[in-house]
Amino acid sequence: MPTIGVKRSLLFNELGQKYTDEEFDQLCFDYGLELDDIEPLPETNGEDVEYKIEIPANRYDILCLEGLSRALKIFLQKIEMPKFHISSNQKLIRMKILPNTQRIRPIVVGAVLRNITFNADSYNSFIKLQEKLHLNLCRNRTLVAIGTHDLDTIQPPFIYDAREPKQIKFRSLNQKDEMRADEMMEFYLKDTHLKRYVSIIQDSDVYPVIYDSKNVVLSLPPIINGDHSKISVNTKNVFIECTAVDLHKANVVLNIMVTMFAQYCSKPFEIEPVEVEQVDGKVIVYPDLSDRVQDISVKKVNQRIGIEVDAKKTAILLNRMCLETKIIDSDTIRVNIPVTRADILHFCDIAEDCAVAYGFNNICKTVPKTSCIGNQFELNRVSDLLRHSVAESGFIEALTFTLCSCSDAAEKFGKNIENIPAVHIANPKTQDFQIGRTSLLPGLLKTIANNQGTALPIQLFEVSDVILKDSTRETGCRNERRLCAVFYNKTPGFETIHGLLDRVMTLVKVPYNENRTNNEGYYLNNQCEDSGFFPDRHAQVIVCGQNIGVIGVLHPNVIENFGLKLPCSILEINIEPFV
C-alpha cells in the first residue's frame, strides 16, 4: 500500500485541532489507516515531525494532505462533503485529437484550475500527488500520464498529435538546450528518475506530443513536460491534461487532481472544464463531476456487518465516510457517491465504509449460529481423483499458462477469434498473453513443441480451468474445469485417447450408450465439423444428451502451425457435469 508523508503542523492546522501522537494514531486506526512512522524534520530543529501514513491502495482521494485532512474532518463531523461544480464560463478551452495518436496513446482529457493560490507547502503537495498517482493508479505512467502547465504561458486551442521523433524538438523541463525527441530518449535513459518510462514509447515509430496554437510543445507524454509551460508556486491558472490508454482511469486521475486542489481557487471547488474534440469530430467536455447514485438496504447492511442500526444511524455513518445520503424509507437509503470515491464499485464497498464509521471494535463478537465442518470443494476433489487416474494410465501432467495469444486460440486452428467466447486483456504486455485461454489444448501443444527431443510417444494431460464469456454472470465471464489429454507419436494413436475416454467414463460411472435413444450414458457424435481436426476423424463427446467436449485427430495444418512434425490425437472434455 502507498505511504504518504505529511508535516504534523500542517495536518493539525488543517484539522483545526492538535493531537498527541498516540491520539492521532488512534484516529488513523479508527478511519482504517495506519500511522507507519514518525520522522523528525531536521530543518525545524526538532519542533516538527513528518507522519508517514499508510493509505489503502484504492483510496486515491487521500493520497495528499488536502484529501486526507478533508476526509478526517468529515469523519469527525467537523465539515460536510464539499460540492464540486463546473464554472459557467461560456468559452471553453479546446483540445483536438489528431488521428495519429490512435497508433500509440489514443486518449486525452483535461481541466483548468482558475485563479489558484499556491504556497510552498500546497505546491509541493500538488507535485507529490502527481507522483503518487503515477506510481499507483497510473501504473508507472503506462496507463495514464499527468501533465500540468501554466496556462498563462501558452495559447489555446491545443493539439494532441503523434509525430515521428525527429519532427519533435523542444526544450524539456529544467533543461537549457532544445533536443529532438529521439535524442531525449537517449538522454533520459541516463536519468535515474525518468529512464523507467522511456521504454513505454521508445520503440514506437511515432511519439505523442501536445502543442498549443503557436506550435509550442507542452509535453511529450508520458516522459516529460516542456520547460516553457512549467508551473511554479506563483502560477495562477493551471491547465491539467492526462494522456492515457484507459479512459476510465484517465477520468479518475483527472477528477482526483482537480478536486483535491480546487479548494485553493478564488472560487473554492469550482473547476473549469475543457472541450476535447475526438478523431471522429465528436466533442466531449471533461471533467464529469456528477455523483453516482445507488440505493441500499439497511437490513442488508446490518446482516453483512453484524450490527443493528436504523436508517437514520446508517445515514449518519455513511455521511462520515464522504458519502452523502437520503433516507427513502425505513429500509432504503439513497447514497450519492462523489467523484472522489472512485473506489466505491459495489454494495459491499458501501457496507465496508459503514463498518469503518461504526468501528470494527464496536461490533460484538458472537459465536456462529451454524456449526460447519470444512470439506474439500467437490469440483477439486473430482479433479484430483481424475488426475491420479489419468496419470496411472501413462500420461504425464503439465501445467500451462492461463493466458494465451489470439493466434494460439483461433488462427492456428483455422478459426476466427471473433467467433470464440474469449475474454480479451485490455493492455497485454506481450502477444503471447492477449486473452484468457478458452481451451487447454494450445498450452499442451506448445509444451510438446518445446520438448520434441523427448522419447516417443509423448503423452500429456492437464486438468485446469478455461475462461469463457458469459453475459449471464455478474463478471461477464465464467471458469470451466476441463480435462485435456494429448497423444503425440509417429501414428495418431486415436485408440489410446479413446481408451482414456472410456476409462474416465468408467471412473465417473457413466455407461456407454449404444442405442443413443435417450439422455443416459455417453456416446460419440461424428456428425460435426471442426477445422482443427482431420476430416471424419473427430467427434463430439455426448454425456446425458449434453455435448461436453471433443475427441479426434488434429488436422495436419494445426500440427504444422504449432511447429510439430508428427500426428497427434487429443481429448478435451468439461468435467463439471460429473460433480
- Convert the pLDDT of each residue in 468-479 to its tens digit: 999 898 888 999
**Same-domain check for residues 108 and 190:** yes
Number of residues that make up the chain: 579
Across the chain, mean pLDDT equals 92
Give me the pLDDT at residue 191, please: 73
Residue 490 binned pLDDT confidence (cut-offs 50, 70, 90): very high
Domain end position, chosen among 330, 360, 390:
360
In three-state secondary structure terms, 332 is strand
State pLDDT tens for residues 427-446: 888 888 999 999 999 999 99
Q: Using pLDDT thresholds of 50, 70 and 90, give the confidence band for residue 368.
A: confident
pLDDT the model gives residue 474: 85
Same domain, 399 and 501: yes
- Tell me: do 400 and 337 sit in the same domain: no
pLDDT reported for residue 535: 87
Q: In a 3-state reduction of DSSP, which class is residue 22? A: helix
The pairing of strands 270-277 and 93-97 is parallel
Q: In this predicted model, what pLDDT tens digit does every residue of 284-337 receive, in sequence order?
A: 999 999 999 999 999 999 999 989 999 999 999 999 999 999 999 999 999 999
Band the pLDDT of 88: cuts 50, 70, 90: confident
Per the DSSP assignment, residues forming a β-bridge with 159 are: 96, 211
Q: How many CB atoms lie within 10 A of CB 125?
A: 23
Q: What is the pLDDT of residue 442?
A: 94
- pLDDT tens-place string over residues 97-145: 999 999 999 999 999 999 999 999 999 999 999 999 999 899 999 999 9
307 and 322 inside one domain:
yes
pLDDT on residue 201: 93
Q: Is residue 59 domain-shared with residue 194, that is, in the same domain?
A: no
Neighbours of 253 (CB within 10 A): 27
Report pTM.
Answer: 0.72
Decide if pLDDT at 46 tops 80.
no
Domain count, the chain: 4
Band the pLDDT of 396: cuts 50, 70, 90: very high
Q: Is the pLDDT of residue 516 over 80?
A: no
Is 354 found in the same domain as 282? no
Grid cell digits, residue 130? 502527481
Is 367 contained in some domain? no
Residue 253 belongs to some domain of the structure: yes
- Looking at the predicted structure, is the pLDDT value of residue 194 above 90? no
The CATH number for 9's domain is 3.30.56.10
- 93 is a domain residue: yes
Same domain, 349 and 489: no
Average pLDDT over residues 535-540: 89
- Note whether 303 and 272 are same-domain residues: no
pLDDT at 374: 79
Residue 125 lies in a domain: yes
Of 111-115, 415-419, 510-514, 531-535, the range with the highest mean pLDDT is 111-115
> Which residue among 54, 75, 96 closes a domain?
75
* Alpha-carbon span 252 to 58, nearest angstrom: 11
Q: Are residues 438 and 573 in the same domain?
A: yes
CATH of the domain at 170: 3.50.40.10
Say whether both 215 and 297 belong to one domain: no
Residues 174-183: what's their mean pLDDT? 91
Cα gap 287→490, rounded to integer Å: 64
User: With 90 as the cut, is the pLDDT of residue 245 above it?
Assistant: yes
Helices and strands counted in the chain (H then E): 15, 28
pLDDT band at 452 (very low <50, low <70, confident <90, very high): confident
445 and 340 share one domain: no
Cell 509525430 locates to: 163
Q: How confident is the model at residue 89 (pLDDT cuts 50, 70, 90)?
A: confident
DSSP, collapsed to helix, strand or coil, labels residue 303 as helix
Reference 271, options 250, 247, 249, 288; nearest CA is 288
Query: Which pLDDT band, with edges at 50, 70 and 90, does 207 fall under?
Result: very high
- What is the span of the domain harbouring residue 512? 378-578
pLDDT score for 579: 85
Whether pLDDT at 365 is above 90: no
**3-state secondary structure (DSSP) of residue 453:** coil
Quick check: 372 pLDDT over 80? no
263: in domain: yes
What is the percent of the chain with per-residue pLDDT over 70, rounded to a whole number?
Answer: 100
Helix, strand, coil: what percent of the chain each, to 5?
A: 30, 30, 40
Residue-level pLDDT at 413: 92
Is 369 inside any structural domain? no
Rounded alpha-carbon distances, angstroms, from residue 398 to 17, 341, 389, 406, 527? 62, 44, 15, 21, 31
262 with 341, same domain: the answer is no
